[in-house]
């Protein structure tokens, strides 16, 4: 009998996993909390404002269409969008997924439970922004938000925009901003020219075919006269009720601001991202082990340390869309009962190898350096949900003598707000790590979130209802 495979996540990794599992003969359910499949990379215009040219601002839209066509055409694939998985348990018979399906807060919203033979987790990442004085002012956005607005709404988040942070993601964001009508006054990359040059100059053939994409972005910068300034960071945003200006400083190789190099830019929006944080909640709840740099640990078949649970895409390492597609294809194939030596999966195996090297180079060139805490002031908000400030955390650590995340959360409420430390968790952990090196063994981790998203008590109560369907 064919295997029943559930894929959580409908981005590049999840789409590729679902297709490859269907191709290998499995019955597949692909789940995503969004209205449509595509993930962070392929976003859609809302149906009520559909546009003739949905592919605009997208790269490789034809791959999305090909994957989507295959899944919608297959009688063995069920697509469940607007479905949020909020818990996962391991039982003696495998994993049990619990979620809700339907428009949020709609009367039609219904609890669901799924008990697959194999599970592929492809839950992606969200962008990480380091705090700086003024970063909670309206008009300061993550670069991911700017990209989402451009792709899914065709809206530029400001007229005079500064893009800053670290990583190649700043390049497509800049392109989307200028194409939706914004003037981008500069793009600031915190890493210094030497670091970036090493990345590009050492064995450029190992750029995994990304050179063409890079040339395209350089062309956009030149055509729109957008200055690209490495070795600089936004160290403060200013304004009364929204951002009106930012202070930018040169930073050293460790991202420590260099005094006397400050410069002010007048802007009405600033888009900042310093990389991505994997969405690990479901994997952690399932008991999957993580790597030292805190991604889901997988073997050659993309299987995690929990039997029957596979992982692909940004939760296993930040490598971009092409790595996500390759890993997804392998995970789906193996979850359906295939093997990594099967001929059909060899192109994906080769692509994964190349993309793995690419993502290691990305991290070496663009990874976060510890000097960023040098631009914090005591008044800077660390946790925006609870408005906990740097000074409060610093003084608490001095008073308690403990840099434990658990104890800091309880004494300052940092990380305890509505986002449950999704935004601030890694930043708080890094900051605590710099205040002292005696993190107690078995301390809390900001990745541990047994209930993944807010859920109504009614939905939990309805799980006890014998009419709630549990899909095998």
Which residues sit at the interface with ligand FAD, rule CB under 6 A? 8-14, 31-34, 39-41, 84-85, 122-127, 144, 147-148, 169, 172, 279, 282, 313-314, 320-321, 324, 452
For ligand FAD, which is the closer residue by CB, 249 or 283?
283
Q: Which of 367, 443, 40 is nearest to 199 (CA)?
A: 367
Distance CA 275, CA 184 (A): 20
What minimum distance in Å lies between the beta carbon of 380 and ligand FAD? Answer: 23
Q: How near is the Cβ of 204 to ligand FAD at its closest, in Å? A: 19
Nearer to ligand FAD, 362 or 376 (CB): 362
DSSP SS3 for 245: strand
Tokens (6 digits) for 229: 């300034």
Dihedral sign for Cα atoms in the order 39, 3, 317, 219:
negative
Q: Which is nearer to ligand FAD, 116 or 320 (CB)?
A: 320
> CB neighbours of 230 closer than 8 A, spacing ≥ 6?
188, 189, 190, 191, 192, 193, 195, 196
Which among 46, 188, 191, 31 is positioned nearest to 116, based on CA atoms?
A: 31
Least Å distance, CB 392 to ligand FAD, is 29
State which residue, 9 or 111, has the beta carbon closest to ligand FAD.
9
**What are the helix (H) ranges across 24-60?**
none
**Half-sphere CA count of 110, side-chain side, radius 13 A:** 10
Nearer CB in complex with ligand FAD: 80/256: 80
Phi-psi region of 424 (alpha: psi -120 to 50; beta: other; left: phi over 0): alpha
Q: Contact, 373 vs 367, CB < 8 A?
A: no
Residue among 296 and 345 whose Cβ is closer to ligand FAD: 296
- For residue 213, the minimal CB distance to ligand FAD (Å) is 9
Q: Give me 364's structure tokens.
A: 């070496």
- For residue 304, the minimal CB distance to ligand FAD (Å) is 15
Q: How far is the CB of 158 from ligand FAD (least distance, A)?
A: 17
Query: Which residue in the block uniquely carries the two structure tokens 């434990």?
Result: 404
Strand, helix or coil at 335?
Answer: helix
**Cβ neighbours of residue 309 under 8 Å, at least 6 residues apart?**
95, 118, 119, 121, 283, 286, 288, 303
CA angle 9, 15, 21 (to 5 degrees): 105
CB 14, min distance to ligand FAD, A: 5
Through-space distance between the first and last CA atoms of the chain, rounded to whole angstroms: 13
DSSP assignment string, 372-383: GGGG--TTSEEE
CB of 180 to ligand FAD, least distance (A): 13
314 versus 402: smaller Cβ distance to ligand FAD:
314
Q: Which is nearer to ligand FAD, 24 or 30 (CB)?
A: 30
What is the smallest separation between the CB atom of 96 and ligand FAD, expressed in angstroms? 14
d(Cα 325, Cα 156) in Å, to the nearest integer?
28
**What is d(CA 170, CA 228) in angstroms, rounded to the nearest whole number?**
10
Nearer to ligand FAD, 275 or 371 (CB): 275
């Amino acid at each position: 009998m064919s295997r029943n495979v559930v894929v959580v996540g409908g981005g590049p990794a999840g789409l590729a996993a679902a297709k490859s599992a269907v191709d290998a003969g499995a019955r597949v359910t692909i789940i995503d909390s969004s209205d449509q499949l595509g993930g962070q990379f392929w976003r859609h215009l809302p149906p009520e404002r559909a546009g003739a040219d949905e592919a605009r601002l997208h790269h490789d839209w034809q791959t999305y269409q090909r994957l989507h066509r295959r899944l919608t055409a297959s009688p063995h694939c069920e697509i469940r969008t607007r479905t949020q998985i909020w818990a996962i348990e391991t039982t003696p018979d495998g994993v049990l997924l619990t979620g809700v399906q339907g428009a949020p807060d709609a009367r039609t919203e219904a609890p669901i439970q799924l008990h697959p033979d194999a599970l592929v987790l492809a839950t992606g990442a969200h962008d990480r922004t380091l705090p700086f004085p003024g970063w909670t002012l309206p008009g300061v956005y993550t670069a991911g938000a700017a990209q989402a607005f451009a792709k899914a709404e065709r809206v530029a988040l400001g007229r005079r925009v500064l893009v800053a942070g670290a990583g190649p993601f700043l390049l497509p964001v800049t392109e989307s901003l200028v194409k939706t009508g914004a003037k981008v006054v500069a793009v600031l990359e915190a890493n210094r020219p030497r670091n970036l040059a090493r990345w590009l100059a050492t064995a450029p053939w190992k750029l995994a075919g990304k050179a063409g994409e890079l040339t395209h972005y350089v062309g956009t910068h030149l055509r729109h006269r957008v200055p690209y300034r490495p070795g600089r960071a936004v160290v403060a945003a200013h304004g009364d009720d929204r951002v009106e200006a930012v202070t930018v400083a040169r930073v050293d190789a460790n991202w420590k601001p260099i005094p006397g190099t400050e410069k002010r830019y007048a802007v009405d929006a600033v888009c900042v991202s310093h990389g991505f944080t994997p969405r690990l909640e479901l994997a952690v709840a399932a008991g999957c082990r993580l790597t030292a740099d805190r991604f889901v640990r997988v073997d050659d078949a993309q299987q995690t340390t929990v039997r029957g649970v596979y992982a692909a895409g940004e939760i296993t390492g930040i490598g971009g869309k092409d790595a996500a597609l390759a890993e997804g294809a392998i995970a789906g194939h193996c979850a359906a009962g295939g093997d990594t030596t099967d001929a059909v999966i060899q192109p994906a195996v080769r692509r994964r190898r190349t993309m793995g090297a690419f993502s290691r180079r990305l991290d070496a060139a663009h990874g976060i350096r510890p000097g960023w805490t040098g631009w914090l002031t005591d008044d800077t908000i660390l946790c925006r949900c609870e408005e906990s400030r740097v000074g409060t955390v610093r003084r608490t650590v001095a008073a308690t003598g403990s840099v434990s995340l658990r104890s800091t959360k309880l004494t300052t409420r940092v990380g305890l707000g509505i986002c449950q430390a999704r935004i601030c968790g890694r930043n708080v952990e890094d900051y605590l790590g710099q205040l002292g090196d005696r993190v107690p063994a078995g301390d809390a981790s900001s990745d541990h979130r047994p209930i993944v998203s807010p859920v109504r008590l009614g939905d939990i109560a309805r799980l006890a209802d014998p009419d709630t369907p549990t899909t095998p």
